[in-house]
Structure 1
């Protein structure tokens, strides 16, 4: 798999299929997290995944890459009771996700925004 395919497979297996084994398949043992609320490694994520509500959904959107860096623009539905739009950024080395950054903001519907534009998807 190329970096783009790997990042999409990993995030889809985790957040769409809710497959805990994806962490061992696609993430480095030394996974470094840059989200200030999540510790390094995958153990906290493995514990968090089963706590997602039954009506939680994730939808990936535009995916772009630059070398071993991949960015996925996605929509997290019912993330702590809110719909969030995010860009997840992954660094990939030796066929594994080794680092993660994210930028998230609460989704605002076009009818409630100052410009009338949707936040997701990018079309």
Structure 2
């Protein structure tokens, strides 16, 4: 399995299937988090995922891989009551996700965009 496949499988397990055992399977014991609102490690995430609302949905879009860095452009539906578009960046070492960065913004529909373009999916 390449790094891109590993990250997609891990994120699908966590956010689509809500399988918190995926953290032990796919994430390093020394997982480093660069989102300033989330501490290092997976303990907080293991507690957070089961609290996601029933109507929460994650949809991965474009994935790209450059060596041990994988990026996913995706949509988080009903993330704290809003649809968010994000680029999640993961570092993979020795078959485990070791670090995470993200950039998120609230989704603006094409009809409400100054340019008429949708934010997701990338066409």
TM-score by length of 2: 0.99
Matched, 1:106 2:117: no
- Could you say what secondary structure the match of 1:50 adopts? helix
Note the aligned Cα RMSD (angstroms): 0.3
Matched, 1:14 2:36: no
1:57: which partner in 2?
Answer: 57
Matched, 1:23 2:23: yes
Please list every run of 5 or more consecutive structure 1 residues that lacks an aligned counterpart in the other structure: none
1:38-78 residue CA offsets vs partner (Å, 9 max, x unmatched): 00000000000011000000000000010000000000000
How many residues end up aligned between the 2 structures? 123
Please list every run of 5 or more consecutive structure 2 residues that lacks an aligned counterpart in the other structure: none
1:116: which partner in 2?
Answer: 116
